[in-house]
Chain A
Amino acid sequence: MNSPVFAGEGDVTVHMMRRSILALMGFLLVLSFPLLRAAEPLTVYTVNYPLQYFTQRIAGDHARVVFPAPADVDPAFWMPDQKTIGDYQRADLVILNGADYAGWVSKVSLPRLRLVDTSKAFKDGLVTVEGTVTHSHGPVGEHSHTGTAFTIWLDFYQAVQQAEAIAEALSRKQPEHKADFEQNLAALRKDLMGLDLEIQQTVAKKPRQLLFASHPIYHYLARRYELHIEDMVWEPEDMPNEQQWQLLRLAQERFPADWMLWEKQPLPKIVQQLDSMGIGIAVLDPCANRPASGDFLSVMRNNIANLKQVFAD
């Protein structure tokens, strides 16, 4: 005998079932919260564009990589504002260039345990820039403010070591993605070592080529690829004064270079005057800040294309 069915009883049953399913889903959501948290991408801050590029290539979707400096500043001499310092302090990792790069790092408080010094592995091989004025006062005695050359990524072998330090730090932070990081690192290493080989082959065509550098930023490039460079301290957007031109003429007498490397395209009148002295210009952009177009690799490929003109037979 069937039990009597009251009007609306089916609706009540369906309603209760819905509530039970919703409660179960809510419960499962709560249970899965730690897993969802674990899957959250890391927030990584860097102190220049090359490091942002390397980190993003290695981390892929597992990290949000931020380089917060405005596009028109040199990150080496930039000073972040209070809010940006706070952002750096809260980051899961802060990727540093080392070699005293970004002087602001020594003047702010960052969480030491979350800092990654990417040049630590070759710290002993860093180049010291000599020739700055020393001074002394008080009981501390004489001291100098000479610095360390910091454009270390222009030696692509060093750039690979920086990338390895980044991969290691990411793997420590998210060991579950270590395989991804290593795979991405391998691809980046291949690209960087490809650039390294290409420069070596380019330079090998004219190993005695002498070069002027408009700015003292090519120490590691010169060391790695055995370039013969004499540094000036010129800015691409400022016309050098007569004294600077005179110094160049004197330098050219003992160091007959016929090319000058520039970090950016210099003013046309600079190019013209250099041309009149028999000196061509080649742009070799260190790409410390994000480029207007392209990425780190494309900028470096342009640099190599420019170098090929210099070292052409």
Chain B
Amino acid sequence: MIDSFYIAWKYLLFGKARSATLVACITLIAVLPLALEIILDESEHQLVERAEHTPLLVGAKGSALDLVMNSLYFADEVPQPVTLASAEEIAATDLAFAIPLYVRFQARGFPIVGTTLDYFDFRQLRLAAGTPFGLLGECVIGAAVARQIGLKPGDSLLSSPETVFDLAGVYPLKMRVAGVLAPSHSADDLAVLVDVKTAWVIEGLVHGHEDVARSRDSSVIIERSESNVTANAKLMQYTEITEANIEAFHLHGDPAGYPLTAVIALPHDDKAAAILRGRYQDTETPYQIVPPADVIDTLITNIFRIRNVLDAVILFVGLATLMALVLVFGLSLRLRQREIDTIFKLGCSRLTIAQLLGAEIVIIAALSAVLCLLILSVVAHYDQQLVRALFI
């Protein structure tokens, strides 16, 4: 038996290209559906887990999917804004805690997530280094952000302008990295977390500049009266918040009117959740309240429809390939007819010849299985990253 495997192995080595093609075909047939299964399972797991851990989201009326994808996975599509007053309204009901979210800006391609320190407790985020953001202008970066752009606590990160053509817009803010998150294998790994007030600084709603009441630079002051000083755009605003200039930073107007993209509502219990949802059923309200799990469930259902199509395609391709393989084997037997006759004339029985051919098939199948396992283990190892790169 071992002799049969030895001769079969030597034969396969003799026709390396043919053997490699056969191994590749069988491996692909096996790997494609299984790898797809792993990736879809992981994407489902990631989407559903994060959604299920987020009881309710309140945002402006519009696409619930955009609201959920922006708030949970920090997707680029920014929903219509709500105001800080909406978060205060939720808190005032005594039915739920409210965590504000403002996910609109980016820093070096990573989303800036404006929120409060409560978000860390809510998502159970741990710091691998440094401290939580303390002063205005500080940020905490996700593990993947730190790894990809090589930042550590004490370094700086510049916010990106929303458009390159916004020449008269607000200046980018140089943020100090206060801490780095430990990997959480979620969208938070790829986020730059800041206090929501820092996000408003990036937008220009909160800003710092020299005291215009005391400024003697006539090229900056347009008009000065007893009760008002009007400055022009030359008035330099601070682009970095330090202990020296933090006193100069101030809010404009009532913070209750400041924008948010969503509010995470954490109801005290199921009854409170039901009452809270009821309050947003009014058609007149500018808000919508959505359980992210429901939205993601709909999305998953759609993904599964696509999955069924993909499975069918893979099944047909697999069948066709298998038939091609059978044909290849059949043709190769025909091509090897003289070779088989020679073996027979050398005194080998028909059973031995069958053993030799069987050993070739077993070796090819075994090599494909090993290769398949290797590829699947790599896919399984990097499934979270693959899912985030492909879907989220």
Contacts and interface: CB of A to CB of B under 8 A. Distances in A.
Interface string A66-104: 000000000000010010011001000000000000010
Interface in B97-135: 97-100, 116-118, 121, 131-135
Contacts of B98: 112
A135 interface: yes
A203 to B, nearest CB: 34
Nearest to A135: B229
Interface residues of A, number: 26
A137 B233 contact: yes
A173 B53 CA distance: 23
A136 B231 contact: yes
A108 B241 CA distance: 11
A37 interface: no
A107 interface: yes
Contacts of B197: 106-107, 109
Given A106-B197, A133-B227, A86 B116 contact: no
Contacts of A35: none
Contacts of A110: 116-117
Contacts of B55: none
Contacts of A86: 131, 134
Contact of A140 (B131, B138, B204): B204
Contact of B251 (A82, A106, A133, A136): A106
B230 A89 contact: no
Interface residues of B, number: 38
B163 interface: no
A110 B97 CA distance: 15
Contacts of A85: 134-135
B210 to A, nearest CB: 11
A143 interface: yes
B246 A133 contact: no
B252 A140 contact: yes
B99 A89 contact: no
Contacts of A107: 135-136, 197, 246, 249
A134 B132 CA distance: 35
A113 B118 contact: yes
A86 B134 CA distance: 7
Interface string A106-148: 1111111110000000000000000001111111101101000
B213 interface: yes
Interface string B244-270: 001101111100000000000000000
B121 A136 contact: no
A85 B131 CA distance: 11
Contacts of A82: 131, 134-135
Contacts of A136: 228-231
Contacts of B24: none
Given A89-B132, A107-B246, A107-B249, A142 B228 contact: yes
Contacts of A145: 250
B229 A111 contact: no
A134 B230 CA distance: 9
Contacts of B227: 133-134
Interface in B121-155: 121, 131-136, 138
A142 B231 CA distance: 10
B273 to A, nearest CB: 17
Contacts of B212: 135, 137
Given A85-B134, A106-B197, A133-B213, A138 B233 contact: yes
Contacts of B99: 112-113
Contacts of B29: none
B45 to A, nearest CB: 28
Nearest to B136: A107
Contacts of B252: 140, 143
A89 B117 contact: yes
B229 A143 contact: no
Given A85-B135, A89-B134, A109 B117 contact: yes
B285 interface: no
B235 interface: yes
A79 B247 contact: yes
Contact of A109 (B134, B213, B229, B250): B134
B21 interface: no
B132 A135 contact: no
B218 interface: no
A103 B138 CA distance: 18
B332 interface: no
B283 interface: no
B232 interface: yes
Nearest to B266: A113
Contacts of A114: 118
Interface of A: 79, 82, 85-86, 89, 103, 106-114, 133-140, 142-143, 145
24 contacts: A82-B135, A103-B247, A106-B197, A106-B251, A107-B135, A107-B249, A108-B136, A109-B117, A109-B133, A109-B195, A111-B121, A114-B118, A133-B227, A133-B228, A134-B228, A135-B212, A135-B213, A135-B229, A136-B231, A137-B232, A140-B204, A142-B228, A142-B230, A143-B252
Interface of B: 97-100, 116-118, 121, 131-136, 138, 168, 195, 197, 204-205, 209, 212-213, 227-233, 235, 246-247, 249-253
Given A111-B116, A136-B228, 19 more contacts: A89-B117, A106-B197, A107-B136, A107-B197, A107-B246, A107-B249, A109-B116, A109-B117, A109-B134, A110-B117, A111-B117, A134-B227, A134-B228, A134-B229, A135-B213, A136-B231, A137-B235, A143-B253, A145-B250
